[in-house]
Each structure stands twice: as C-alpha cells, then as structure tokens.
Structure 1
Amino acid sequence: MSLLKQIDKDYIEAYKAKATVKVAVLRHLKTAIKNRMVEEKADSLSDDVVLELIAKQAKQRKDALEQYGKAGRDDLAKVEADELAELEQYMPKQLSDEELSAAIDKAIADLGASGMADMGKVMGVVLAAYKGQVDGKKASGMVKAKLST
C-alpha cells in the first residue's frame, strides 16, 4: 500500500475513533500533499515526495517544540510533542548515532573529503543515501566535527 493511501486510511480510522490529535496532524499532512499535487499538476505523488513532506512537517514540529520549551510554554510543547509522535509513525527508522557516524565516514572516504570546504558534498551524499532517516542538524554537527579534525 502506498504511503498516500495509508495516510488516507489512517485519517478515516482516526476520524471515526475521534482521535483529535491524529486527525489534526493527518489533516495538515493531507493539505500539504494536496498543495504539492496542485503545484506539480499531478494526480498522485510518489512515496519519496510524501516522505519529504512528512519530514518537513516533523521538522516544523521539532522546531516549535524547541521554541516552546525555551519560552517555558510546556502546554504548547506537549501538543507539538504529541503531533510529532504521530508523524514519526510514517517516517522510516532513524539511523543510530553509530550508523550515522559510519555513513559519514564512508562518504568522507568515498569523496576524499579533507576539509570544511567539502562539507556540502558530504552532507549531500549522506542525506541522499539515507533519505528521511537522518536528522540534518545531527548529521551537520557530526560532519563538521569529523572534517575539522
């Protein structure tokens, strides 16, 4: 079953079960998908594009969660955390720190990267190879640490 069909099916189930958080999250996601379909003048989207939209929504939730946490708004931070948990069900399993470190080491070796000037190339290779499985901030920090030594 495609990711798009799974989201539609889960939305209907959540609506019937009156799961308000899941309904809200999936409604936002379905809107983002519909907007992308209109932009591309397409009848459907590939799973990769849908995954990209899910990752974008998850990143927005993470950023909001961080901001609310800094501002001391625990009530709003909890809402964002709940929504993020719902979105993460549709994301592929994230790489562990060890797996990410190994992937970065391999990309550095394959590219022959030697300094910070090669950071963009390394990040591009890692993010493309592990689409949706890598947190960009974490990967960026690791790449910087490895290239600056």
Structure 2
Amino acid sequence: MTTLKAKLHDDLTTAIKARDELRSSTLRLTLSAIAYEETAGKSARELSDEEVLKVITREAKKRREAADAFEKGGRADQAERERAEGEVLATYLPKQLSDEELAAIVGEAVAEAKAGGAEGPKAMGAVMKIVNPKVAGRADGSRVAAEVKRLLAG
C-alpha cells in the first residue's frame, strides 16, 4: 500500500473513532474512488502516490463544482457541506500556488515558447506543455489556462 493511501486509511480510522462524520464520510468516498481506479481497466493494480494524488485532486474538484452548483440552485446548506468536504481533501494536496507564483511560472513558459517560435493562439498549446509539469497538482487547470491566455494576449 502506498504511503498516501495508508495515511488516508489511518486518518479514516482516527476520524471514525473520533466520531467525525464529515471527515470519515469524505475519506470513505475518496478511498472508494481510489479502489475503483485500482480495479478499472483490464487488470487490478496498486496506484502510486502520484496517481492517488490525482484521484484526490479530482475528488476535490468535484466538491468545488458541486458546491457552485448547489449555491446556484439555492441550496446553501448542501453547498457548505461540499466546501467542507473539499477542505478535508485539501489537507492531502500540495500547497496551491499563489497568483504571483503562477504568473511567474507562466511568464517564463511564455518566453520559452516564444523563443521556440510559437506565436499567437497556437502558442497556447506550447505554453501549456511547458507549464503543466511545473505546476502539476499545485494549481487548477482552469486557473493555469486563464493565466496563459492573459499573458499571451498582453
């Protein structure tokens, strides 16, 4: 068992013993998503820490999107629950980049892509190829794309 998955199991046990319903249900759902990912495909396999992190990131994104949808639907109580679950998952994710840090990384990538001959809208793909490995897991893809567009336009 990977160290991150083991930490999730240990934290689930602790949450159950502490009768922390929010934390235990969130961790159960996340471990279930991990187990599903491990058994999906032609053969079962154990996920690496990096793959487990991707599953946690995906689950956190689902919580953000659900909270927004509930908010728009006038269900503030359910939106608050989704946000709280997202905060639980955020404790397992790497620290998110600030806007300034993201702008600096994207700025370097834009300069690198332009030096490589990429111009205009076609540069978007080239810049994203450079940026994505540098920010993996530390910035939401939509935030990265928005920053790339902003810097390419300006």
Partner of 1:39: 40
Q: Is the 8 A contact 1:61 1:81 kept in 2?
A: yes
Aligned length: 149
How far has the Cα of 1:121 moved from its partner? 2.5
Letter in 2 for 1:102: A
Distance change in 2, residues 1:42/1:125 (3 Å): farther
Residue of structure 2 in register with 1:87 after alignment: 89
User: Partner of 1:125 in structure 2?
Assistant: 130
Aligned partners of 1:99, 1:138: CA distance in 2, in Å?
Answer: 12
Counterpart residue number, 1:4: 5
Q: CA deviation at 1:42?
A: 4.3
Q: Distance in 2 between matches of 1:145 and 1:43?
A: 41
Report the RMSD for the aligned CA atoms in angstroms: 1.5
Query: Are the aligned partners of 1:127 and 1:134 in contact in 2 as well (CA < 8 Å)?
Result: no
CA distance in structure 1 between the partners assigned to 2:131 and 2:95 by the alignment:
15
Aligned equivalents of 2:52 and 2:20: distance in 1? 22
Q: What pairs with 1:73-112 in structure 2 (closer than 5 Å)?
A: 73-112=75-114
Distance 1:31 1:82 in 2: 19
Secondary structure class of the residue paired with 2:46? coil
Counterpart position of 1:21: 22
User: What amino acid is aligned across from residue 5 of structure 1 in structure 2?
Assistant: A
Deviation at 1:43, TM superposition (A): 4.3
Gaps of 5+ in 2: none
* In structure 2, C-alpha distance between the alignment counterparts of 1:132 and 1:107, rounded to whole Å: 17
Q: Partner amino acid for 2:23?
A: K
Gaps of 5+ in 1: none
Indicate the residue corresponding to 2:68 in structure 1: 66
1:58-108 residue CA offsets vs partner (Å, 9 max, x unmatched): 111111111111222111111001100100000000000000000101111
> What TM-score does the superposition give when structure 1 sets the normalisation length?
0.93
Residue 37 of structure 1 deviates from its aligned partner by 1.0
Q: Hey, what does 1:53 align to over in structure 2?
A: 55
Task: Name the structure 2 match of 1:148.
Answer: 153
Offset of 1:139 from its aligned partner? 1.2
